[in-house]
Amino acid sequence: MNIANNILKHSLKNVYFLVGTACSGKTTMANALSKKYGFIHFSRNKYEDEESYKVWQSIIDEKYQPNSTKRKDMDWEKYYSRSVEEFLADENDKNASDEYLDFAIIELIKLSQNNKVIADIRILDFNLITDISDYNRIACLLAPGELIVRDNYVRDDHRDRIERIQSLKDSEKKFETQYELMRIRAKEMAEQAKKYNLFSIMRSEESTVEDTLRLLEKHFCLINGL
C-alpha cells in the first residue's frame, strides 16, 4: 500500500523539516527551536530518539527493507575499500535512507498530532520533501565541502564511524575517499536545494547560532506567533 503524498502532507502539517548537509547546524538549530518554542525534536542521531531507532532496527525485514538489512552484517573493510566512483554509483545508501524514511514519517505523524515537531533527519529526495510539506515548513542548511571535511570527524556523534574506519587497513586512504565524497555531495546538495527552490542557509566561518535561528524563525513564520 502506498499513501498518497497529499495525505502525508496533511498529516505532517505540524512538522518543520531541517534538511541539508553534515556540519551545517541542523541539530544545533533543531535544539534551539525546540527549546525556544517547545517543539518536539525528532532526530535519528539524537539521544532521546535512540529508542525509536532501536525499534526500527528490530523490525526491518529483508523482504521489505533489503538495503537496511544488508547494513546489519556489513563487511566494513569491503565497504570502505571502494573508490569514490564506486560509492557514487552505489544506490544502497540512498535506498537504505529511503527505507528508514518510511518509518520516520509514521513516527512524525504520531508525534505531531497534538504537538509541533522539528524533524532533523536525513532526506535525500528533495522532490519528495517538497511534495509532502510546504515551502515555509522546510529549510535546507548547507555547509561547504572543506568545512565538512574539517569538522565532520571531530564530532562526538560520529565517534563510532571514526573508530570503525581507523580499525581498517589503509585507514588514511579510506578517510581521503570519504573526504572527497563529502566535497562532491555538499556541492550536489546545494545544487538540488537551488533546483527545488528550497529556503537555504549556507554556513560560513562567520555564522552564529543567533543569526541562523533568526533566519529560521522568520522563514518558519514563528516570530509573530505559531
Task: Please indicate, yes or no, if residue 192 is contained in any of the structural domains.
Answer: yes
Count up the domains in the chain and report the number: 1
- Looking at residue 1, its pLDDT comes to 64
Nearest to 118 by CA among 200, 193, 38, 202: 38
Residue 165's H or E segment, with its range, is helix 159-166
Q: Is the pLDDT of residue 8 over 90?
A: yes
Residue 18's H or E segment, with its range, is strand 15-20
The string of pLDDT tens digits covering residues 43-101 is 876 545 567 888 888 999 999 998 888 877 889 999 999 999 999 888 767 777 888 88
Radius of gyration in angstroms for the set of CA atoms belonging to the chain, rounded to a whole number: 18
Task: Please indicate, yes or no, if residue 120 is contained in any of the structural domains.
Answer: yes
The pTM of the whole model exceeds 0.75 = yes
Q: The domain that contains 73 carries what CATH number?
A: 3.40.50.300
Question: What are phi and psi for residue 150, nearest 5 degrees?
Answer: -70, -40
pLDDT (mean) for 29-39: 95
Task: Please indicate, yes or no, if residue 225 is contained in any of the structural domains.
Answer: no
pLDDT (mean) for 131-149: 96
Task: Please indicate, yes or no, if residue 224 is contained in any of the structural domains.
Answer: no
The string of pLDDT tens digits covering residues 200-212 is 999 999 999 999 9
Range(s) of the domain holding residue 32: 5-219
Residue 226's pLDDT band, with cuts at 50, 70 and 90, is very low
Task: Please indicate, yes or no, if residue 182 is contained in any of the structural domains.
Answer: yes
